[in-house]
Amino acid sequence: MSFATNESPKGFSNDVLLVCVPTPPNETWIARLKVLHPELTVRWYNQPQTFPPAPLPEEVYEGVTMLLTLWPHPAESLPNVRYIQLLSAGADRWITHDLPQIAEWVIGTWLMVNHNFLGYAEQQKEQKWSRLSGMALDSPGLRMGILGYGAIGRQCARIGQALGMEVYAYTRSERSTPESRKDDSYFVTGTGDPDGLVPTKWFHGSTKEAVNDFLAQDLDFLVLALPLTEASTYILGREQFDILSKKKTFVCNIARGKHIDSDALLEALQQGKIRGAAIDVADPEPLPDGHPLFTAPNIFITPHVSWQTPHLLTRMQDIVEKNLDSLKEGKPLINVMNREHHY
């Protein structure tokens, strides 16, 4: 996620790019930037990955006008910042100022549940050879609904289609033309759905009624991949799980924990309204030890790790390079945050 705070003059003679990430400096990339933009000053700070993050020494911020980071920083420490590149897919932590690997997590949990991999793994630990009850469920002919058709949702759609699923897409704004369905954000070559050709049906809207209509489309698999905004907070509650109970939809949340009412999810699992759930995010987060969701039936939980990949920073560096070129030439940035809708 990127955003520029003001109109940018050409050239970077007065600019300092602060790279604040939990890794040692990438000297090769720093040297590359110096070749591409010799007037730009690059400052790298290896910030330990803790939650919440430890404050930085004030001298680190001196003269900073550009920032590549994961966590928010005090606004008063960055009075002259004009370009920020977030490592995160969402910008919710920055609003009140809070990628392909994620799609693989989504599809991995789908296959894990439908083929009972966890059950057989437990059986292997017990050194037993026997077939568990119930047939495996394969994907051809099933319907995947993606609530939030951004870069992550598009890669989920691409893999889901490859497995034989029909894909329905939901976006906040209407995408009624081929041009409007294209994705102008950054994507890794050979991934995603940049031209918006995968979905067989598109839905849109910002009201609860519009969301409910989408959820009522006999979805076998629902993926939440939308940004967290005021409108999308607790977008799934008891009413929505009642709608999903018709098809006993499997629910996967890799967006933000506050998209789902945890009490409603717990009830839906306990009462068998849905086939199951896989969540990489929770509300509250971190999920406290002993929380009843941990022992709910048919749920798989990971501690917000679906985004982790050794390639993340490399891809973000690529985005920074593209955006620096655009800033210098006065062209629009890519992956820009919508300040009205906060994504």
Q: Encode pLDDT of 214-250 as tens digits.
A: 999 999 999 999 989 899 999 999 999 999 999 999 9
Q: Encode pLDDT of 109-162 as tens digits.
A: 999 999 999 999 999 999 999 998 888 899 999 999 999 999 899 999 999 999
Q: Which two tokens stand for residue 274?
A: 């849905």
Strand partners, 19: 44, 68
CATH code of domain 2-96+309-329: 3.40.50
CATH class of the domain at 100-301: alpha beta
Distance CA 202, CA 168 (A): 6
Q: What would the mean pLDDT of 287-316 be, rounded to a whole number?
A: 86
Closest CA to 89 of 29, 156, 168, 136: 156
Q: Encode pLDDT of 161-192 as tens digits.
A: 999 999 999 999 999 999 999 987 767 788 89
Could you check whether 2-96+309-329 and 100-301 share the same CATH topology? yes
DSSP string covering 230-279: TTTTT-B-HHHHHHHTTTT-EEEE-S-GGGB-HHHHHHHHHTTSSSEEEE
Distance CA 247, CA 274 (A): 8
Tell me if residue 305 falls in helix, strand or coil: coil
Residue boundaries of the structural domains of the chain? 2-96+309-329, 100-301
> Which long-range contacts link 283-289 to residues 24+ away (Cβ below 8 Å)?
283/257, 283/258, 284/257, 285/257, 286/51
Backbone angles phi, psi at 311, to 5 degrees: -95, -5
Distance CA 227, CA 233 (A): 9
Between these two residues, 40 and 330, which has the higher pLDDT value?
40
